[in-house]
């Protein structure tokens, strides 16, 4: 009975780690943009689910994320809307909030840059804010995320090997 319970626990842990590693980590970046091209970074959020590649269309505005080596790791276009449709009329607004989703690929985010055409409008070192708000910069969390399934499999194999060896020695 004890052996069956241990096997059930190992199988449950293996299933849990495989399911959790199958979901994507999605980073949501929110910022405000006003009609005079002033930008304010709002927040980073993390979500889990299935990431769907957005269709990128040509636009005047581009958002780039760079890593600690100053290499572009994410890039997307966006088109801000400074109008709201209300009771069949357009109302002009001065500021809008943009939220863009990115698939987190395990690299540290360092710089966020926003361009209008080829002109740099905004650049910020976002490493500290990104790490604080998402918790993804702690190296031990990254290591455990990738190593946990391997550890579970190795423990299960070791248990089965020892169990088989004990069964052979009792015969």
Going from the N-terminus, what domains does the chain have, and what CATH number goes with each?
2-170 (2.60.40)
Give residues with Cβ within 8 angstroms of 122, minimum separation 6.
39, 41, 112, 113, 114
Report the 3 state secondary structure along 68-104: CCCCEEEEEEECCCCEEEECCEEEECCEEEEEEEEEC
Half-sphere exposure of 141 (CA within 13 A, CB side): 7
Mean per-residue pLDDT pooled into runs of 10, the chain (171 residues): 62 56 82 94 90 75 92 92 86 93 86 94 93 78 69 83 68 53
pLDDT at 148: 77
pLDDT at 33: 96
Report which of 8, 55, 49 is spatially closest to residue 26, judged by C-alpha positions: 49
Global pTM reads 0.66
pLDDT at 11: 61
Report which of 43, 34, 40 is spatially closest to residue 122, judged by C-alpha positions: 40
pLDDT at 7: 64
pLDDT at 9: 66
pLDDT at 63: 95
pLDDT at 43: 95
């Amino acid at each position: 009975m004890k052996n069956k319970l241990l096997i059930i626990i190992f199988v449950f842990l293996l299933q849990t780690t495989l399911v959790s590693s199958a979901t994507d980590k999605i980073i949501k970046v929110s910022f405000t943009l006003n009609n005079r091209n002033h930008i304010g970074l709002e927040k980073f959020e993390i979500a889990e689910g299935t990431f769907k590649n957005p269709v990128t269309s040509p636009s005047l505005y581009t958002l780039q994320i760079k890593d600690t080596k100053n290499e572009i790791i994410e890039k997307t276009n966006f088109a801000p809307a400074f109008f709201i449709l209300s009771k069949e009329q357009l109302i002009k607004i001065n500021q809008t909030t943009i939220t863009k989703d990115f698939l987190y690929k395990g690299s540290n985010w360092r710089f966020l840059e926003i361009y209008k055409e080829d002109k740099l409008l905004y650049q910020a070192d976002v490493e500290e804010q990104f790490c604080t708000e998402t918790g993804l910069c702690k190296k031990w969390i990254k290591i455990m995320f990738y190593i946990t399934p391997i550890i579970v499999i190795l423990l299960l194999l070791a248990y089965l090997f020892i169990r088989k060896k004990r069964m052979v020695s009792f015969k």
